[in-house]
Structure formats: C-alpha cells, structure tokens
Amino acid sequence: MTSKNVVRPPKLAPGSRVALIAPAGPLLERDDLTRGQELVRALGWEPVLGANAGNHEGYFSGSDAERLADLNASLKDDRIDGIWCLRGGYGMTRILDGVDFATARRRPKVVLGYSDITALLVPLFVETGLVTFHGPIAKTEMGPFARWHLDRVVTNVSAAGRLGRIKPPADTLVPQKDRIVTLLPGVAEGQLIGGNMTLLQCLIGTKWWPDLRGSILFVEDVHEDLSSIDRMFSHMRLTGKLEGIAGVLIGRFTEMEKGGDSGADGLDRVLEHYLAPLKVPVAYGFPVGHIDEQWTLPIGVKARLDATAGEVDLLEPAVV
C-alpha cells in the first residue's frame, strides 16, 4: 500500500453518528454500554449501539455470526460516520475473513480501537487503503489527554503536527510517568503502520500482513512476558518482515514479566538484539498501548520519528 493509495475517511463532526460495536471480547458490566454511549455524546457525536454489542458467549461478545453482523452492518450503513469498538479481548481473527471490505472501500469512515482490534485496523488498511485509528476503546473512562488527542486526530483536517512536543491546554495535561528512551538515534519518515504485537504476528502468512518497507512500525502489548516479546520479534525477523522498515516506535509493554524459571533479561537488550542490525532510528516508551492516557495513531498516515529527541510528527492529516 503506497501513500497515493491511501483513503482518508471524512472527519467526525458534531452530530456524527458513531456505531458502538464489540467484535471481540464481551462487556462484563452493563454499565460498559452506558459509559460508551455517554463518552460518544461527550465528544459531540451520536451513539448508535450495535444490535449484539451487549451479548455474551464464552469469552466473546456473542457468536461469530452476531459479532460479524454488527461490524458489517456498521460498514454498510451510510448513515454511520464512524465505528468505535467498545473493547478488545479476543475474537477478531475468527471473523476477519467475513469482513465486508468492498463496502469499507465504497464508504470510508473512521474505525477506532486497539489491542485485538489491530486485526481489523491493519487488514482494513491493507485491503482498502483506508486510514484507521489505533486509539482508546469506548467502554473505558477516557482521561483528558487521551480525549484531547483523539478529538484532535479524528476531527481536525489540519491536525498534522508534533505529537511528542505539542501539549494540550494546561488543564487537560496528564504527565506520563515513563520517559521516552532512545535505543538507536536518528530521524525517519514513513507511513505509520502497527498495533498490538501479538495480533500483528497473527497476520504473518495471511494476505493482510502489511508491507512495512519504508514505514515506521509501532508496536505495543499487554500481559506478555519478555520471552514472548523476544519470540515475536524473532518470528518477524525469521520471516523477513522487519526488512526495509524506516524506523521503529515502541509503545508500552504493560504488565510485562521480565524473568522466569529460566532467568531474566532487560527489554533494552531484547529490542537491541533484533532492531540494532536494522540500522534505523528506534525509541521506546511512547504513550501507545494499554494505558489510560494514550495517543491515537492513524495507520497509513505519513509521520516523522525523531528517535534522538523522542518525538513523533504527523506530516499529514488523517481525515478529510
């Protein structure tokens, strides 16, 4: 997918109708649905709850058929301007081959989520060129920084600018407790492509693996021990998927165990082992992933990574 093939969805404006769906894991509390709808209204949009969003079948939010029906109905409905996933969990890969990509290509719209939803965001971009959005899910309470950042990226057609340095109004700024760490200095430019590392690995060998050549790869994960992170990077390297990338933006690996019965290592050493041979800029610790105050990153949009300064610039808007 080259930049000239990229399709930017129309921006979300006051009164935009946003579908709330749960294509993967279930909502365990009734208030999750209410909270999601209230959040959509707080952002100035109109919530449209998926017919099966409150269902629960094992560790899914309904059967495969029900979850796929809500997703495809949201893609097909021309009255829907955006699709916001209520949660991640697991289940998107089970229904991926049934997604109506042709409709998504015909009627571009904002699609937002993260974690397991990576298995929707990246294939949508690969299949149709649609810019998708790796950002907060709708069921969780959104902090002021995350809300400001989401609104800035999906509603502003001129929202190209520095993510690493630009700050929201003082009363909305929530400081991040972790610093950005430069692993390999330098500056890189390319399309932002990435998401949850476990789900990206699941796409290897499918037609939905993205071409990372010339891109800035971003990854994050949760509940994975360091050896699992090591194994996933190893798989990417062995399959040649890291070749030709322009730079690497590492988000947060939250709740990560660094040691076990077989010993311990550090994240720096693991990242350096796989990424240093690429000789491209790499930095980690960015507010991307399973954290309360996170960036919304548009997949497919050109960006500049300054690994030395620990900054990221969007070079073009994500919406029209």
When divided into structural domains, the chain yields a total of 2
pLDDT of residue 217: 98
The catalytically annotated residue of 220, 224, 293, 311 is 220
**What CATH number does residue 282 fall under?**
3.50.30.60
58 and 73 in a single domain? The answer is yes
pLDDT of residue 178: 57
Domain end (from 88, 121, 155): 155
- Rounded Cα distance between 148 and 165, Å, is 14
166 and 60 in a single domain? The answer is no
Task: Report yes or no on 320 lying in a domain.
Answer: no
The catalytically annotated residue of 115, 134, 149, 293 is 115
Task: Report yes or no on 85 lying in a domain.
Answer: yes
150 and 220 in a single domain? The answer is no
Task: Report yes or no on 11 lying in a domain.
Answer: yes
Based on the residue annotation, tell me whether 290 is a catalytic residue of this protein.
Answer: yes
Based on the residue annotation, tell me whether 61 is a catalytic residue of this protein.
Answer: no
Based on the residue annotation, tell me whether 220 is a catalytic residue of this protein.
Answer: yes
pTM (two decimals): 0.94
Domain end (from 99, 132, 155): 155
Pairing of strands 282-284, 181-184: antiparallel
Q: What is the dihedral of CA 58, 59, 65, 71, to 10 degrees?
A: 150
280 and 243 in a single domain? The answer is yes
Asked if residues 174 and 294 have their Cβ atoms less than 8 Å apart, the reply is no
**What CATH number does residue 8 fall under?**
3.40.50.10740
The catalytically annotated residue of 66, 215, 290, 293 is 290
17 and 84 in a single domain? The answer is yes
101 and 212 in a single domain? The answer is no
Mean pLDDT by 10 residues, the chain (320 residues): 76 98 93 94 97 96 98 98 97 98 97 98 98 96 89 86 64 58 96 98 98 98 94 97 97 82 74 97 95 95 96 95
Q: Which domain holds residue 102?
A: 3-155
pLDDT of residue 4: 56
